[in-house]
Amino acid sequence: MDLAITAPFVPEQGMTIAGGGFLANAGGKGGNQAVACARLGGKAFMVGCVGEAFGTELLSSLKESGVDTRFVRTAAGVSSGVAVIIVTGGDNRIILDKGANACVTEETVDSALETAEAGDLLVLQLEIGLNAVEYALRKGKEKGMVTLLNPAPAAELRKEVFPLCDYFIPNETEARFYTGILPGSEETVRRCGEILRQKGVRNVIVTLGERGSAYLGEEGNFAVEAFPAEAVDTTAAGDTFIGALAVKLSEGANVREAMIFASAASSVTVSRRGAQRSIPTREEAEKAARR
């Protein structure tokens, strides 16, 4: 659950300031990406755990967006995952408590992937335990699934994880975390991609905010510009991008086509407040893509 408040600036240590516009909104990277997949035309199954606090609301938000929640269980004695968000000037600062997200186990993964088929997409983030992430990637590859890892929030990964990723999709700060290079120019973006591919990743997509996104992989190297938007709140923009990308790839689009659609969808998300409530429908994203 995202607990967001707008403030004129980020307070310093020991400082209390007046904010406003408090918003409690269903979020979480995995949840957001599942909602994006469903709203944008995909058949999405959410795998994970909610807790006793906020669990009912989170499940309701997923279901209302068309996400299949049969593989989401409720963990006893813990809260659902929570994000405390400060929004300043359209940008955000986020503090996470994993809560029930830490309760995702190998058994959770096995149950969910039992009916998965070769060619299905497996989309992962790092808001669950790293052991569960690696296990899911291994099981997905064994089944012939296409694996997408959004390494957020950034955390140390074992070297064996990278070759399990068909698509590795960091933002700028995450790319720097894994490569030691901030992708601030065309050259540094290329170097980030090369380092990640040397680690074993098949395809790298770096999201660059208002500068768009860049691809380095089996379909070549290229950049996709961002669509113009008046940013109100960037929460869930990256999640929308990944959900939209997954939908298009599942429909047989090439990577460039998928990234263009994902950029258009993200441009709608940043123009609205909140996480899941800001994610567009397929019609809204296609309209934005025609601008």
User: Where in the sequence numbering do the catalytic residues fall?
Assistant: 239
Residue showing tokens 């090369």: 194
CB 215 within 8 A of CB 71: no
Q: Is 248 in contact with 257 (CB distance < 8 Å)?
A: yes
Token match 């405390």: residue? Answer: 84
> In angstroms, what CA-CA distances link 113 with 145, 156, 262?
10, 25, 26
Helices (H), 172-217: 172-179, 186-198
* DSSP reduced 3-state for 42: coil
Residue 270 to residue 228: CA distance in whole angstroms: 10
What is the signed CA dihedral for 127, 7, 91, 128, rounded to 10 degrees? Answer: 0
> Assign residue 83 a region: left if phi > 0, alpha if psi is -120 to 50, beta otherwise?
beta
Residues 283, 103: Cα–Cα separation, whole Å: 36
CA distance 139 to 64: 29
